[in-house]
Amino acid sequence: MIALGATDADLADFFDVTEKTINNWKKKHPEFLQSLKEAKGEFDTQVENSLAIKAKGGYETTETRIKTDCDDKVISTVTVQKTLAPDPVSAIFWLKNRQPERWRDKPEEKGGNEIFAEAMSKLEDKLPD
């Protein structure tokens, strides 16, 4: 179940218990916690790899096209090999999460308190001892 992307909430539903019970089981049974971590890690890695492949593009897929007549009788079958282009949405998602300092939409701005604290610090540095 976890290897397919199930969450703790999904586990709780499956076992007909609350999420709190799942968390208690994790505390009481370290081997249960470890097996969940491993399964979640494996699934996350698979998703990460899929996203990276889609973001980079250049992967090939096979598509079968079937032509039929008005009576749904097969006229022809053609198999086409396609090289897919990079997916910009996947690339943007990847970059924003992996390198947020370079790719976030809006740079973080300093709040008034931070600016004031920096100014005070600079003034303190200039004061005689």
pLDDT, tens digit (0-9, with 9 covering 90-100), for 51-102: 888 888 878 889 999 999 999 999 899 998 888 888 888 888 888 888 888 8
Half-sphere CA count of 117, side-chain side, radius 13 A: 5
pLDDT per position as a tens digit, 19-34: 999 999 999 999 999 9
CB 92 within 8 A of CB 103: yes
Q: Using an 8 Å Cβ cutoff, are 58 and 91 in contact?
A: no
Q: Are the CB atoms for 36 and 26 separated by under 8 Å?
A: yes
Phi, psi of 106, deg, nearest 5: -135, 120
Q: Is the pTM of the predicted complex or chain greater than 0.85?
A: no
Cα separation, 28 vs 88, in Å, equals: 45
